[in-house]
Chains A and B, each alone.
Chain A
């Protein structure tokens, strides 16, 4: 395939994916907005006013970056895992497999779709948060870079989950039993400086902590983790998972008999 043809194939997959989640926006875009509004009301306004300041910020201001990141992670992941698994289950993944579209393009198309939904939900949640608190972004470049890379990382992770999944149960196990605990314990609602040394060290093994704190640094200018560590971890995970996803696709794991 020539470069222009590859670009057309990429645009096709990306557009198809974006149109898919836009077509069912009531299922894909509205629920995170409602959930996060409840978080802002309950944790931010009602409970947050009892907690007081954290790292020099009101509690609601402190948790906003974490909640935005949480919605980005969840939606990037769930978009790719559900769409790729459905394509596998109903067989329309074969439309791509019989065509000359390279595996890199298939990967990038699906990852792009997951990122588009993750970032769109992130933007919606950000707009909702403005009803509860004013938001001044301290480091715009870092903010955008961290959120884009995080959505990319979790889109790839969702794809790997979908490749291995054999039933609809398999696409909910990882989000429920792995992703949600990691996100809730990843510093969304608290600073790890509040924890004992032991639990601080345990928390450092949680990759989500680096992303949430990188994003918080971008918005508020405070973080438990150095931004360099956040970017390094993101880069390593993205390269490793992308390479693994490419290998699985090339071998045909879960999609070719």
Chain B
């Protein structure tokens, strides 16, 4: 099966001798919704920059849908759409011109581009703003403009570098819906984000980069299954003075009305509620203390940092 993206031993050392990528290997399958996670400065944007021809690699190979980036750069570029982290359009140009110009760079004639631009801008709720200068758009609109621009040539691989950064929750959710539909229609998507619940809910596979190395690359399901203990926050119906002493669960009373409970992966929620009921503790509502992926991410990165420093 041809990969949407295959990266082999990719290295990047900048002129100031900073080694941003230390030989990463990565495979993204066709049709996948793939999360590429890492702390700031981990090397995600460098890797994306190389894939998109914005950064020169030092060593290694990149192929997109079987086309080698070095040998078939034009074909690779035809297949990729990029939504970068920073706003990088001409803020003095009208929205529609930004989209049509981008289409032009891909050799798409104006009449065809105009139809596609209309569809995309309507989908992304920007059609009414088409004649506005881009500088007059809100942050969320600017993000959506970059998505529309990245999709104007119908790329088979869409790379989103923190597309929802600084976007309010309502717009973020509408963007998630849009991206999900796009993925279901066959577009392979690579997403980097700092909102880990976003990655958890949308992506099938995941890679974590830390200090220029891939420390984990697996399926989301497999990664989440490694979580041994989950911590829940429970809002109690009646306040408690202190934690029950003979309880089989690890319990921490945050305040008289809020309890934190650690539940081993081997135990069911029924067990949790049965145990609490035995101690006359009645629960009104519950939630995860932290996002599951966030817990794993922090753990993996921390372990890697400890390994590399020892």
Chain B 91-104 against A: per-residue CB contact (8 Å), 1 yes, 0 no?
A: 10000010011111
List of B residues within 8 angstroms of A2 by Cβ: 107
Interface residues of B in 119-165 (CB under 8 A from A): 149, 153
Scoring B residues 46 to 85 as 1 if CB is less than 8 Å from chain A, else 0, what string do you get?
1001001111100000000000000001110110101010
List A contacts of B75 (CB < 8 A). 100
B74 A100 Cβ-Cβ under 8 A: yes
Most buried by A among B53, B101, B107, B149: B107
Q: Is the interface of A mostly helix, strand, loop or mixed?
A: helix
Interface size on A, residues (CB 8 A): 27
Complex Cα gap A99–B53 (Å): 9
A256 touches B89 (CB 8 A): no
Determine the residue in chain A with the shortest Cβ distance to B102.
A95
Cβ contacts under 8 Å, A98 to chain B: 52-54, 77, 80, 82
Q: Across the two chains, which residue of chain B brings its CB closest to A2? A: B107
Query: Among the interface residues B84, B87, B106, B149, which one has the most CB atoms of the partner chain A within 10 A?
Result: B106
Q: Which residues of A, 76-108, contact B by the 8 Å Cβ criterion?
A: 87, 90-92, 94-102
**Which of A13, A87, A94, A100 is in CB contact (< 8 Å) with B84?**
A94
B131 nearest CB across to chain A (Å): 14
Cβ contacts under 8 Å, B91 to chain A: 90
B86 near A97: Cβ-Cβ < 8 Å:
no
Q: Among the listed stretches A3-11, A114-122, A141-149, A167-175, which one makes contact with chain B, having 4 or more residues with CB under 8 Å of it?
A: A3-11
A9–B52 CA distance with the chains assembled, in angstroms? 18
10 closest cross-chain pairs (CB), A and B: A5-B107, A12-B104, A91-B88, A99-B105, A100-B74, A100-B77, A257-B55, A92-B90, A101-B105, A98-B52
Pairs A–B under 8 Å by Cβ, sample size 25:
A9-B107, A11-B104, A12-B100, A13-B104, A16-B97, A90-B91, A91-B84, A91-B86, A94-B54, A94-B84, A95-B88, A95-B101, A96-B105, A98-B53, A98-B54, A99-B102, A99-B106, A99-B153, A100-B77, A100-B78, A100-B106, A100-B107, A256-B53, A256-B55, A257-B14
